[in-house]
Structure 1
Amino acid sequence: MLSKKLQLKTIDYKFVLTICFLLFFNSIISAQEIIKDSVVAQVPVEIPSGQRQKIDGIIATVGDYIVLDSDIDKGFLEISSQGGSVKDITRCQMLGKLLEDKLYAHQAIQDSIVVSDAEIRGMMDERLNYMMQQAGGDINKIVAFYKKNSVEEFKTYFSDILKEQKLASEMRDKIIGAVEITPEEVRNFFKSIPKEELPTFGAEMEVAQIVVEPKVSKEDKQKVIDRLNSIRKDVLEGSSFATKAVLYSQDPGSSPTGGFYKMTRKTPFVKEFKDVAFSLAEGEISEPFETTFGFHIIMIDKIKGQEVELRHILISPTVSEDALKEAKERITNIRAKIESKQITFADAARTESDEKETRANGGTLINPNTQDTRFELTKMDPTLYSQVSNLKDDAVSQPLLNTDDKGKKTYKLITVTNRIDEHTADYAKDYTKIKELALKEKQIKAIGKWFDDKIKDTYIKIIAEYKTCNFTNNWLKK
């Protein structure tokens, strides 16, 4: 286990992240309205002030932002509606989180952090599409739920809420993004943990794979090009590009936000994508073009010096059954050569694999969460775990048909190249994990210092009823 000091801070950090996640929708619906007593969540309250009347009103002010009593209640209601438990969250803790969000947003404006209208439109499209699904496609039900008089009034209100949420997120990312850690700091962090309290890391393994992609026919490619041209035509005639991206784009990283990306020439996008993006003028929509991911169209929202704000739609061609059959035969032959010792798995990956990201490393996978080659069994992706858990050392899996989150089908072979048993943290062997823990601690300290500094310089008022709260931050300026 971590030292008590570190453990406490880690718990606080996880609490903040948990609340951030659970309040994903609460930050949207945090409306300034009275809510009925009959729907107020029964939650723990740490305010020893006797029987409290449920009269809504301003309970706190942070800079230019306010918090209403109903905001806290709606926070609990939303956590409950998402299946979360509120039994261990007090009203004071909920208020503390809301105050943090308000200060983030307030300071973002002071720091001239800009949230573009295009970003808000993308967020609006994403959330509205989700809400429309929940409301059976009837936007009037949503308007009524928020007690607004028209769709336009609701969208204006909703846009303001989303902008505040985005400002808070950008401000927090700015604080954390500025935190760096040196090897010396990592070493000192590790040395500060008592030997008997060093963390224990679970069993891990290193995995390699060979991927074979089915060949896509010219006819299948043309179908995708025709589909993108049809979408492009609709947009040129007045349809929303963002809505089309939400409905049809197969890029999971951008489709929920209407296909939105911000990029410069240094942003790590594939060359073909950047070449097209930086050849377009504002408002222009590209013709369909191909990358390794499939076919795209791009629309430029805004050009800011060397930065481009754009939207794109990605559609990948479907693969025929004949192409899948040929791919399976090819990867079966590769496996046979490995099994007969004609070639090693690593050499086969370098010469035969269609996956550019891994073939140079002999097929070795990189853990996306840690950026090293180890995968902790208890945290491994369930699909990958099911594929490797029963493999013996140096064994090669049978050909596995894989479908990724964009619907792209491939065949692959997997092998386990190394196993690491559960063990107490070792500085040399576990440097990457120790560095991550040290960085998180430093980020927590940076956030804490930021709150200390900004609270001193910001107008903050909390009504008497909540002044007995034991906040993590010094909101009461004691």
Structure 2
Amino acid sequence: MPLKTIQMRFINNKIVLTFCFMFFLSAIMSAQEIIKDSAVVTVVKTSSNQKLKIDGVIATVGDYIILDSDIDKSYLEISSQGGSVKDITRCQMLGKLLEDKLYAHQAIQDSIKVTDSEVKSMMDDRLNYMAEQLGSMDKVVKYYKKNSEEEFRTYFFDILKEQRLTSEMMKKIIDEVEITPEEVRNFFKTIPVAELPLFGAEMEVAQIVITPKVSDAEKQKVIDKLNGFKKEIQEGSSFATKAVLYSQDPGSRATGGFYKMNRKTPFVKEFKDVAFGLAEGEISAPFETDFGYHIIYVEKIKGQEIELRHILLTPAVSEESLNEAKEKIALIRKRIVDKEITFAEAARTLSDEKETRANGGALINPKTQDARFELTKMDPSLYSQVSNLKENEISAPFMEDEQGKKKFKMIIITNRINEHTADYAKDYIKIKDLALKEKQIKAIGKWFDEKIKETYIKIIGEYRDCTFTNNWLKK
């Protein structure tokens, strides 16, 4: 039976994770209000004296309420994201909203802190994205049926704060769950042989990288050019314009070199050290990273976050240096083929890639943090390089050009694992991940059972006839 069967076995018992990630963004659309416990459904009379419900409170969780219109907004949000809502009932959607409110309510009880500056930063990112998708900020305001951008920002701030509280509370529950090797073993033993998951074909890959040397003269050319940019900007030129015209960073060039970052943002250490050492309005001296040479201009400092612009220039590599690197990697390959040295030994002593050198050139899968790459999920560029190689066959050297930085590589498949039924010894990491997910699901289910008992929860009107997975009605 496929892996999905194992993963879904307990999810079917708790709606919390069934919808948790699929609908997480729907929290953006959910209205948040703080109430005492007196809200009622609003109705008007039609010409036939029948009552027609317009909107109103349908549920209360602690200090939070849920409106009937929140369900409609959640449907709209899922549809706008390209999801299907045909099999989702209003009762199921209400169950998801109840979960979100309970997470947020309990986060406040547990003194989980979400700062205003944190929410405002999130809001700026979301609004920029939304304005880009819809065409303008005015269209975003109109889409959400608000009278002004200020009114929308106030509304949206509350929504994002609740969403952040929800995610932090969920993270706190999951982070406290740990699993022992004994529990992993017991989990595996409970899976019937006929239901063991099937894992796809995988391979382990290693590489050797030779980087052409850049002359001191070329480095100095780039440094002088960046110093020239700095002087012109200090005299009144636009940093953003310079970045658009000259920066060799494809990720930020179109936006004038703009980045927003904090200490945890995954930038290289040298870049972060310089960025966080600058005062607001200051421009750095040229400095070097693995990508080339940069200058940074700090536009704003907002608490632990900074907004900056940078210009990246990569020194040119001479034809002579390229040929030297090409000859060097070809010679290394010949020595390996002639069995003078192993691939792993060559990687440790001769490769220029420090990230893989210590592991004998072995690549680590960034998604799983182990050495295996599943073929169906492998990066297309890597797959194209290894798909035709046999086990322990070394590829011919080839050149890569990443953001203007040329380097030569050769790759070897050190281990090929065919599609197979789960094996405890061979697939321990994957099995551990499955066992941990199951334990996390149980922990969340237990948390809901306990907190529902402790929290004031009220469901009004027709929704009391819903059949919920969680005991919201406290029967």
Q: Give the letter aligned to residue 30 of structure 1.
A: S
The AA in structure 1 aligned to 2:98 is L
Q: Is the 8 A contact 1:140 1:151 kept in 2?
A: yes
Instruction: Tell me the TM-score normalized by structure 2.
Output: 0.77
Q: In the TM superposition, what whole-angstrom CA distance separates every residue of 1:197-227 from its partner, at most 9, and x where no partner exists?
A: 2222222211112234455642345656777
SS at match of 2:114: coil
CA distance in 2, matches of 1:105, 1:330: 59
Deviations, residues 382-405 of structure 1 (Å, cap 9, x unaligned)? 33223222212222234455566x
Shift of residue 76, structure 1, vs aligned partner: 1.9
Select between 359-368 and 80-89 the one with higher mean Cα deviation: 80-89
Give the counterpart letter for 2:419 in structure 1: E
| Residue 188 (structure 1) aligns with | 186
Q: 1:273 to 1:321 in 2, by over 3 A?
A: closer
Contact 1:214 1:319 in 2 (8 A): no
The equivalent residue for 1:46 is none
Q: Give the letter aligned to residue 100 of structure 1.
A: E
CA distance in 1, matches of 2:386, 2:261: 36
* Structure 2 residues not aligned, in runs of 5+: 34-50, 241-248
Inter-CA distance 154–186: structure 2 relative to 1 (3 Å threshold):
same
Q: Deviations over 1:272-295 (max 9, x none)?
A: 4676578678x6968355444664
Is the 1:63–1:459 Cα contact (8 Å) retained in structure 2? yes
Aligned-partner Cα distance in 1 for 2:460–2:120:
35
Return the offset for 1:460.
1.4
Q: Is the 8 A contact 2:12 2:18 kept in 1?
A: no
1:87 is aligned to 2:86: yes
Please say if 1:61 is aligned against 2:76. Answer: no
Partner residue, 2:284: 287
| Identity value in percent | 65
User: Equivalents in 1 of 2:15, 2:410: separation in Å?
Assistant: 40
2:426 corresponds to which letter in structure 1?
Answer: K
CA contact (8 A) 1:206 1:375 kept: yes
Q: 290-299 vs 421-430, which deviates more?
A: 290-299
Scaled by the length of structure 1, the TM-score of the pair is 0.77
**Structure 1 SS opposite 2:208:** strand
Judged with a 3 Å threshold, the aligned counterparts in structure 2 of structure 1 residues 166 and 3 are, in CA distance, closer, same or farther, namely closer
Aligned to 2:260: 259
Alignment counterpart, residue 175 of structure 1, candidates 173, 189, 205: 173
C-alpha distance after superposition, 1:47-83 (max 9, x if no partner): xxxxx96632222221222222222222222222222
1:9 matched to 2:21: no
Change (3 A) 1:3 1:144: closer
The 1-side partners of 2:282 and 2:163 are apart by 29
User: Cα RMSD over matched residues?
Assistant: 4.1
SS of 1:27's partner is helix
Aligned partner of 1:466 among 458, 463, 466: 463
1:317 — aligned with what?
313
Whether 2:202 is the aligned partner of 1:204: answer: yes
Partner of 2:42: none
- C-alpha distance in structure 2 between counterparts of 1:468 and 1:400, whole Å: 66
Q: Superposed, which structure 2 residues align to 1:41-60 within 5 Å?
A: 55-60=54-59
- Specify the structure having the higher radius of gyration (Cα): 2
Find out whether 1:98 has 2:94 as its counterpart.
Answer: no
* 1:355 matched residue in structure 2: 353
Alignment partner of 2:374 out of 346, 364, 376: 376
Query: Which of 430-439 and 370-379 deviates more?
Result: 370-379
Kindly report which structure 2 residues correspond to 1:241-280, keeping only aligned pairs within 5 A, or say none.
Answer: 250=251, 259-262=260-263, 272=270
Letter in 2 for 1:59: I
The answer to whether the 8 Å contact 2:344/2:361 transfers is yes
Distance between the aligned counterparts of 1:367 and 1:459, measured in 2? 46
Map of 1:344 onto structure 2: 342
Check 1:392–1:330 CA distance in 2 against 1; reply closer, same or farther (3 A cut): same
Q: Tell me how far apart the structure 2 counterparts of residues 312 and 330 of structure 1 sit (CA, whole Å).
A: 40
Change (3 A) 1:28 1:320: farther
Gap runs ≥5 in structure 1:
34-51, 240-247
Q: Is the 8 A contact 2:212 2:317 kept in 1?
A: no
| Aligned counterparts of 2:233 and 2:15: Cα–Cα separation in 1 | 43
Cα distance in 1 between the residues matched to 2:71 and 2:307: 36
Match of 1:412 in 2: 409
| Whole-Å separation in 2 of the counterparts to 1:229 and 1:87 | 60
Match in the other structure for 1:245:
none
Q: Which residue of 1 aligns with 2:144?
A: 146
Aligned residues: 438
